[in-house]
Amino acid sequence: MTKLLITGGAGFIGSNFVHYTLTNRPEYEITVIDKLTYAGNLDNLTSVMDKITFVKGDICDQNLMDDLVDKNDIVVHFAAESHNDNSLRNPQPFIQTNIVGTFTILESIRKFGKRLHHISTDEVYGDLALDDPAKFNENTPYNASSPYSSSKASSDLLVKAWIRSFGIKATISNCSNNYGPYQHIEKFIPRQITNILSGISPKLYGTGEQVRDWIHVDDHNSAVHTIIDKGVLGELYLIGANGEQNNKYVLETILELMGKDKTAYEHVNDRPGHDQRYAIDSTKLQTQLGWKPKYTDLRAGLQATIDWYQQNDSWWQNEKAKIEAAYAEKGQ
Ligand code: NAD
Ligand code: DAU
């Protein structure tokens, strides 16, 4: 058995990665380390608790990370503060977890000579203009905009430096916007679905013309496994599934799929410094490693996601009022 240490495995993508791995890759023995911040939820793992080892802890704790990295073969590093709007309210935890936390893991990896896969975001490249046909690729210069994306860019640069300076065995992936089950209701798609389910009007920032490149979380995670299996050490891969849509279209589609009037939403205050467009060219991953996305029908994916939030209202209902109150303070 190969021993896999998954950081942030109680969050959205990390918990989906745990489920995906248990279903598709039984050769892995899984340990999850997660601090259980507001974004981590043990309920995401309840059904598999007897199949994994769970450790509650902070990736910034060097002794803990040394112990866990020493006991495992591969580290898949998802743990992060992940929400742009929170990084505009208080950047401090982003600097601590995303930068200091990644540094701490790198030091353990260096000490014990283990393999690391670092999970990052397309936001490290900044944004593209709405009328620019270009997409991000592996040679696009880093140009992050927000405290969140600059902390992720910093973490990537640390990984690159540890590869070059110390020869650690590591790969990096930068993925576009994920959607699917277990996504925190602070994020765009689940916020709007749970607004509609709660009788609250959906909220579109600014004009809603900003474009995101949506990918189903299982496609992200199958790509991560492909990189762990076949990725060249020291390399970085972009992950995306040609899912570009503007926010207005996504919101109108959600309203339509939920049987509501397509115009039944509010325009609210825009996000300061709002990135306009993200778009991924995943040719390298597709041609060099043979990966392909499976869930390319966004309407079908949104319908399945709506069904999940409808069927799992106890998963999100307790948090709803608090999240909306924090947004209301910013007129969002
Ligand atoms: P999330 O916020 O849902 O989950 C983050 C998890 O990390 C939570 O379980 C939280 O408790 C844990 N965590 C936070 N700080 C920690 C610490 N100091 N020590 C241990 N655990 C800690 O995030 P997500 O959306 O699942 O994102 C996971 C990763 O994927 C992040 O690195 C993010 O930058 C990256 N990413 C996300 C997307 C997306 O669309 N959500 C896209 C590309 C990349
Ligand atoms: O691109 C990858 C990134 O995608 C990840 O690195 C981040 O962790 C993840 O949160 C996501 O970042 P975004 O800022 O793009 O996602 P968010 O869900 O916050 O917003 C998506 C778009 O929707 C963005 O243009 C802002 C807009 N929006 C968001 C919210 C919460 C709204 O119009 N209304 C809303 O209520």
Residue 48's pLDDT is 98
pLDDT in tens, 27-66: 999 999 999 999 999 999 999 999 999 999 999 999 999 9
Which pLDDT score is estimated for 187? Answer: 98
Mind listing the domains of the chain with CATH numbers? 2-179+215-239 (3.40.50.720), 188-211+245-278+296-322 (3.90.25.10)
d(C-alpha 314, C-alpha 216), whole Å: 23
Calculate the alpha carbon distances from 332 to 244, 266, 271 in Å.
Answer: 24, 9, 9
Question: What is the pLDDT at residue 111?
Answer: 98
Minimal CA–CA distance to 165: which of 125, 232, 109?
Answer: 109
- Residues near ligand 2 with C-beta < 6 Å? 82-84, 121-123, 176-177, 187-188, 191, 203-205, 210, 212, 247, 271, 278
Q: Among candidates 38, 39, 168, 53, which has minimal Cα distance to 103? A: 168
- Tell me the average pLDDT of the chain: 98
Which stretch of DSSP H or E encloses residue 75? strand 74-77
Two structure tokens written together for 119 = 């999970």
Which phi and psi angles does 282 have, rounded to 5°?
-100, 25
pLDDT of residue 85: 98
Res 83: pLDDT:
98
**Within a 13 Å sphere around the CA of 123, how many CA atoms are in the beta-carbon half?**
23
Nearest ligand to the CA atom of 117: 1
Give yes or no: 122 in active site: yes
Whether 174 contacts 149, CB under 8 Å = no
pLDDT digits (tens, 9 = 90+) for 253-299: 999 999 999 999 999 999 999 999 999 999 999 999 999 999 999 99
Q: Measuring CA to CA, which residue among 175, 129, 180, 179 is closest to residue 152?
A: 175
- At residue 206, the pLDDT reads 97
CB under 8 Å to 192, separation ≥6 — which residues? Answer: 202, 203, 251, 254, 265
- Bridge partners of 268? 205
Out of 37, 104, 150, 278, mutate this one to test ligand 1's pocket (max ligand atoms within 8 Å of CB): namely: 37
Low-confidence ranges of the chain (pLDDT < 50): none
Give me the residues paired with residue 127 across strands: none
pLDDT of residue 260: 98
Phi then psi for residue 172, to 5 deg, are: -130, 145
Instruction: Assign 121 to helix, strand or coil.
Output: strand
CA 91 to ligand 1 centroid distance, Å: 15
Catalytic entry in 34, 81, 123, 252: 123
Ligand 2 pocket test, candidate residues 88, 177, 302, most atoms within 8 A of CB: 177
Torsion of CA 156, 157, 160, 161, to 10 degrees: -140
Alpha helix (H) residue ranges in 118-216: 147-166, 188-197
What is the structure's pLDDT at 77?
A: 99
Q: Establish whether 148 is a catalytic residue.
A: yes
